[in-house]
Amino acid sequence: MIILCFFSLPRAISHLGLLLSGRQKLKSDSGCPLIYVPKLPLQRISLIRRLNKWFCGLVIFIICWLNRIHIAHGHGFAPSSFVLTAQKFGAALSLVADIHGATLEEAIYAGRLASDDEVVKVYKKDEKSVLNQSEWLIFVSSAMRKYYEDLAQDTFVKASVIPCATETSFEIDERRRAFLRSKFGLENRIVFCYVGSAAPYQMIGEMVRLFDRITKYIPKAFFLLFSHHQDVFLSYMQEVAINPSRYRVTAVDHNEIFDYLQMGDIGFLLRENSIVNRVASPTKFAEYCLSGLPVITTAYVGDFSAMVKDQKLGYVLDLPSLSVDMNLVNFVMDVQQNRSIYAKRCANFAKENFSWDHYGSVLSDIYLRVEQN
């Protein structure tokens, strides 16, 4: 197996350290040969955008021909469309399209594209081609599969749902948890956690204000945040005037996150009502659960919101009010009193449903089916 990554040259130059560290981690985690190829710049220009697709398709064709590769796993619509272009060069390639998000809606949601932009038509055409011409489709949620089936007015027979999974070798260690809580001065606190970026879709402002409201009912509440965007989070805390004794913003390497998350009691995962969120599969949900943290979330997080309710993995808040009522308070107190029960339930659910050990065999089965066809 070979991993081929196309990257933006201007972005790589400005974030060279991040690119190199990410490349090293990907190489270490996968154990596969990696090939990094820059895309053509200035793709807002229509001609260059078309040339880039042919360039990327040609690269895929050459690499697959030289290495006798017959199945290409496209991570998203754009790479998958490059594989379809490689087929036009004569590549005997079968495409497994792995759709990790509603990419067009994500670009509009993030403000990178206007809904009436000319590029939108191009993206829609690529989406349609990938959905129609792939040998197999993979979606990260059942909600995403239904969304694209409704969009295509079709039922995808050759398709699977594989959520954003994680390594599940981590085991909760109560002695380690007690040591870390003592080290951070959290022995008698109810610890709410957040891990991730300060991107707008994470609803950081709402999350901070929600925590502030919780402290009015639960004086022992403490907010522990893990992020490399520390300045942003500190500014939010200062804006809401939360006492510094009630929170800590820190950063750890990703391979340490499970160890540190087990200090917590409850994780935050808030999303607003949008297509992007309703079909999503945030990895942090699996990370929280594996670390033994039930999750406070909203009703718009892909398949996970229903799982939280059905499997008793946390609490689903009402939007847009994000109010703190006695139901939420009672949930928090129940977690405190029965923490080991919640921790075991969440961790076991993660191991059974978000394990790469399990989904690795599912992927192997997909490749075998595609190869036999």
Give the tokens for residue 306: 């229903």
Is residue 9 in some structural domain? no
Q: What are the distances in angstroms from CA 119 to CA 61, 80, 129, 147?
A: 25, 17, 15, 21
Closest-CA residue to 192 (of 225, 232, 218, 239)? 225
Is residue 24 in some structural domain? no
Q: Cα 119 to chain center, whole Å?
A: 25
Is residue 127 in some structural domain? yes
220 and 249 fall within a common domain = yes
Q: Report the domain count for the chain.
A: 2
Using CB atoms within 10 Å of the CB of residue 126, give its burial: 0 to 12 exposed, 13 to 18 middle, 19+ buried: buried
pLDDT over 90 (residue 246): yes
Closest-CA residue to 124 (of 81, 72, 162)? 81
pLDDT over 80 (residue 278): yes
205 and 191 fall within a common domain = yes
Give the tokens for residue 140: 């990260």
End-to-end CA gap in the chain? 20
Average pLDDT, the chain: 91
Q: Are strands 190-195 and 221-226 parallel, antiparallel or unpaired?
A: parallel
Give the tokens for residue 253: 């390497």
pLDDT in tens, 280-318: 999 999 999 999 999 999 999 999 999 999 999 999 998
187 and 252 fall within a common domain = yes
- pLDDT computed for residue 120 by the predictor: 79
Is residue 313 in some structural domain? yes
Say how far apart CA 17 and CA 5 lie, in whole Å. 16
232 and 143 fall within a common domain = no
Q: Cα 51 to chain center, whole Å?
A: 30
Is residue 8 in some structural domain? no
**pTM, 2 dp:** 0.89
CATH code for the domain of 368: 3.40.50.2000
pLDDT over 80 (residue 245): yes
- Percentage helix, strand, coil for the chain under 3-state DSSP, each rounded to 5: 55, 15, 30
257 and 187 fall within a common domain = yes
- Coil, strand or helix: which one is 302? coil
* 84 and 129 Cβ atoms separated by less than 8 Å: yes
pLDDT over 70 (residue 110): no
Give the tokens for residue 78: 């754009």
Q: Quick one: which H or E segment has residue 13? A: helix 9-14
In which domain, by residue range, is 256 found?
174-353
pLDDT in tens, 37-71: 999 888 778 888 899 999 999 999 999 999 999 99
Q: Cα 210 to chain center, whole Å?
A: 23
Q: Is residue 111 very low, low, confident or very high in pLDDT (cuts 50, 70, 90)?
A: low
Residue scoring higher pLDDT (116 or 233): 233
Read off the pLDDT of each residue in 26-42 and give the average, rounded to a whole number. 84
